[in-house]
Amino acid sequence: MACRPQPIGTYSEGGWGWTIVFGGFTIMFIFNGTLKAFGVLLITIKDDFDTDLWMIGSLGFLHYGLFYAMGPMAGAVARRIGSRYLVVFGGMIYGLGLTLASTANSVILFGVSLIVMAGLGAGCAYETCRVELVFYFHDKFPIAYVLLTIGGPIGMMVYGPLTQVLLDTYGWRGTMLLLGGVSFHVVVCGLLIRPGKHSVKDYNKVSLNDNDDVKHPERGTSSPVNCFHDFLMIAGLDVFRNVEFLILSCARMAINIGHAGVIIYMVPDGLSLGLNTTQASFLTSAWGFGSIIGLSLSAFITQRKFISNRLTAAISGLITAVCFAATPFLTTVTCQFLIISLLGVGAEGVAQTLAVSTRNLPFSDDRQFNVQGWQCFLVGISCTIGNIIAGWLYEATGSFQATFVMFCGTSVVTSVCLLVDLIRLRLIGQRDE
């Protein structure tokens, strides 16, 4: 049975890498916590600007989408100047954007501050800190990744109820100003990343085509074929020649539509179902609790290899789909807490497993900036389009039922993509690692 090439050289499997994990944990804590805080502030901001809910919600989705859509540019810059400087710059712009958003006197200025500035800053740092892990971990990558990523759900657990308290005390502008101040800590986390070249050796270069025996033209020539090839390599577009990359990207695009949707609309949906503001704000704690379980469980399964990665992610996707379908119809506080927790288990289980599968793609470590960058770009586009449609569905129907049914459908698409890829790997005799 064919299997993937093993890395040459050695990895520290820790060392300074654990410092990177700590810094990334803090960055995830701040970014995801702030995103959840925006969900708590959503209705108050809508009322203050006297506009529609879908309009303010769309600004949140565009902000979230830019986390990912900046991926290719961030990857190219990180390979040129290093991750440290990029994350530090991103932290400064992110904190400044949130601070300016608290002073905006119109929807346009609020959107520019939240999307162009804060979204740009987050896009510089969000995936960059995750990619840094590939230079320190291989065998322990699932554990390191989950310890870094778990900062996101913990941040949501803390920020959700805390934001409601700050909102009642200082209003949404004072709360946003405080969030901006805390966000400058991303700069400190960026300084934890070591500058310069990494000592880890690259993976063996693997041809993207099984029958690719064609020699490339000499670099000194200026033929159109040679120029086109150089352009593909510089931009990292050659990753799209890998079928497995395309399938994993499609799966991630589909699941992240619902992932972003539940983060933004979780509290408004709870309020529409009859929960009071305190109960609705604590739904974020339920989501965070479930997310921690989902991340930890999937990391344990992928580390121990009890079942294949794609099967694990496909099952998690189906759990997510069922929860999305049931969420609008379970109106009691207990049921909402339970279903939101299960949503966190499923959605984060998919995210963790897809991250490990993407790390195992046959690309060298330094190419992970391109792999993650373009995958994130696709995710950013899908989240932006998908969740603007979700907002329109809410405005058209007056409830979140149709919106959450749409999220259910995208979760099913994720599971189908992964099962199809699993069958493809079995047919070609390749193992799912």
Instruction: Using the predicted structure, report yes or no on whether residue 428 has a pLDDT greater than 70.
Output: yes
What pLDDT is stored for residue 94 in this prediction? 95
What pLDDT is stored for residue 35 in this prediction? 85
What pLDDT is stored for residue 160 in this prediction? 81
Question: Which of 151, 158, 192 has its CA nearest to residue 27?
Answer: 151
- Exposed/middle/buried for 276, CB within 10 Å: 0-12, 13-18, 19+? exposed
Q: Is 220 inside any structural domain?
A: no
Q: Is 210 inside any structural domain?
A: no
The residues pairing with 2 across neighbouring beta strands, listed in sequence order, are 430
Distance between CA 243 and CA 361 in Å, rounded? 10
What pLDDT is stored for residue 262 in this prediction? 81
The residues pairing with 430 across neighbouring beta strands, listed in sequence order, are 2
Instruction: Using the predicted structure, report yes or no on whether residue 2 has a pLDDT greater than 90.
Output: no
Helix (H) or strand (E) holding 143: helix 141-149
- Which range scores top for mean pLDDT: 96-100, 219-223, 231-235, 323-327? 96-100
Distance between CA 23 and CA 395 in Å, rounded? 40
Q: How many helices (H) and strands (E) does the chain have?
A: 18, 0
Instruction: Using the predicted structure, report yes or no on whether residue 198 has a pLDDT greater than 70.
Output: no
Q: Is 174 inside any structural domain?
A: yes
Q: What percent of the chain has pLDDT over 90?
A: 32
Q: What's the mean pLDDT in 193-205?
A: 50
Q: What's the mean pLDDT in 231-240?
A: 69
Sign of CA dihedral 323, 326, 329, 333: negative
Point out the least confidently predicted range of 108-122, 224-238, 270-284. Answer: 224-238
- DSSP strands (E only) in 258-376: none
- Exposed/middle/buried for 195, CB within 10 Å: 0-12, 13-18, 19+? exposed
- Exposed/middle/buried for 272, CB within 10 Å: 0-12, 13-18, 19+? middle
Distance between CA 331 and CA 351 in Å, rounded? 27
Decide if 179 contacts 160 (C-beta within 8 A).
no
Point out the least confidently predicted range of 160-164, 214-218, 326-330, 356-360. Answer: 214-218
Distance between CA 126 and CA 355 in Å, rounded? 14
Q: Is 402 inside any structural domain?
A: yes
Q: What's the mean pLDDT in 399-422?
A: 91
What pLDDT is stored for residue 378 in this prediction? 87
Task: List, for residues 255-283, the tens digit of each pLDDT value.
Answer: 988 887 887 788 888 888 888 888 887 88
Q: How many domains does the chain have?
A: 1
Q: Is 169 inside any structural domain?
A: yes
Could you tell me the pLDDT band of residue 8, with boundaries at 50, 70 and 90? very low
What pLDDT is stored for residue 12 in this prediction? 65
Q: Is-above-0.95 flag for pTM?
A: no
Decide if 352 contacts 224 (C-beta within 8 A).
no
Considering only residues 260 and 209, tell me which one the structure prediction assigns the higher pLDDT: 260
What pLDDT is stored for residue 304 in this prediction? 80
Q: Is 120 inside any structural domain?
A: yes
Question: Which of 75, 71, 94, 91 has its CA nearest to residue 83?
Answer: 75
Decide if 287 contacts 155 (C-beta within 8 A).
no
Decide if 379 contacts 410 (C-beta within 8 A).
no
Considering only residues 214 and 153, tell me which one the structure prediction assigns the higher pLDDT: 153
Helix, strand, coil shares of the chain, percent, nearest 5, are 80, 0, 20
CATH number where 64 lies: 1.20.1250.20
Instruction: Using the predicted structure, report yes or no on whether residue 5 has a pLDDT greater than 80.
Output: no
Q: Is 398 inside any structural domain?
A: yes
Decide if 263 contacts 36 (C-beta within 8 A).
yes
Domain range spanning residue 260?
17-200+234-427
Considering only residues 284 and 421, tell me which one the structure prediction assigns the higher pLDDT: 421
Considering only residues 195 and 247, tell me which one the structure prediction assigns the higher pLDDT: 247
Could you tell me the pLDDT band of residue 3, with boundaries at 50, 70 and 90? very low
What pLDDT is stored for residue 31 in this prediction? 92
Helix (H) or strand (E) holding 345: helix 333-359
Reported as half-sphere exposure (CB side, CA atoms, 13 A), residue 83 has a value of 27
What mean pLDDT is reported for the chain? 82
Q: What is the DSSP letter of 14?
A: S
Instruction: Using the predicted structure, report yes or no on whether residue 208 has a pLDDT greater than 80.
Output: no
Q: Which two tokens stand for residue 34?
A: 């702030």
Could you tell me the pLDDT band of residue 229, with boundaries at 50, 70 and 90? low
Q: Is 306 inside any structural domain?
A: yes
Instruction: Using the predicted structure, report yes or no on whether residue 168 has a pLDDT greater than 50.
Output: yes
What pLDDT is stored for residue 199 in this prediction? 39
Kindly give, in sequence order, each residue whose CB lies less than 8 Å from that of residue 356, ignoring residues fewer than 6 positions away.
141, 142, 145, 302, 309
Instruction: Using the predicted structure, report yes or no on whether residue 99 has a pLDDT greater than 90.
Output: yes
